[in-house]
Amino acid sequence: MNRIGIIDYGMGNLGSVTNACRFLNLPAEVVASPDRISDCDALILPGVGAFGDCMAHLRDHGFVEPVLAWIAEDRPFLGICLGLQVLFAGSEESPDAAGLGVFPGIVKRFRLPPEYKVPLIGWSRVREKAPACPLFNGIPDDSYYYFVHSYYADAASEEYAAGVTSYGVDYASAIWRGRLMAVQFHPEKSQKLGLNMLSNFAEGVS
């Protein structure tokens, strides 16, 4: 079975992602050094915290160039939460911090009427804009997943937006391009359907 590397860059929800993979009997292991990436067949980039801190930690740990090379080679990659946001050029959260720049655009902060709580914490629907995305295999459209975030990828109309969530504004809650996939929500905390999604990612690794 192919190895899945969970990138440890000094911050992120490693425990919950690792535990979910272990529960699913997936061959996942924490990768704390970029020279271990070559031993992997797929990568997961988890993330919690601030955009600027995440990028600083990725740079300090030497992961930026290897991750960009991995994505450029169209190898299996899954970003989770902040791991989706750092794929963009930057974020309003950390204006002076450049993102990985895989996708253009700046991640925006929710600016919503008072009835919307920010951060968004809890269960929200994902509308499948690209049902053919491998992550959605066997999962009903408009399913609920668990979100925790104050910033969003304003890319709902882009062709790489595989899933869209509405929270005062429509935004890309899942993106897909080739073997690159990322989700704004936490599949590892989204019960059965989230675990199904992680299994779907693993099944696409070869």
CATH 3.90.1640.30 fits domain 4-203:
no
Count of helix runs (H) and strand runs (E) in the chain: 5, 12
Instruction: Please list, residue by residue across 140-176, b when 16 or more beta carbons sit within 10 angstroms of its beta carbon and e when fewer do.
Output: eeebebbbebebbbbbbebebbbbbbebeebbbbbbb
Active site residues: 81, 186, 188
Note whether 193 and 143 are within 8 A (CB): yes
What's CA 177's distance to the chain center, in Å?
13
Whose tokens are 């995305």? That residue is 133
Verdict on whether the full-model pTM lies above 0.85 = yes
Residue 162 and residue 130: Cα distance in Å, rounded? 4
The predicted-structure confidence for 101-139, as pLDDT tens digits, reads as follows 999 999 999 999 999 999 999 999 999 999 999 999 999
The predicted-structure confidence for 158-188, as pLDDT tens digits, reads as follows 999 999 999 999 999 999 999 999 999 999 9
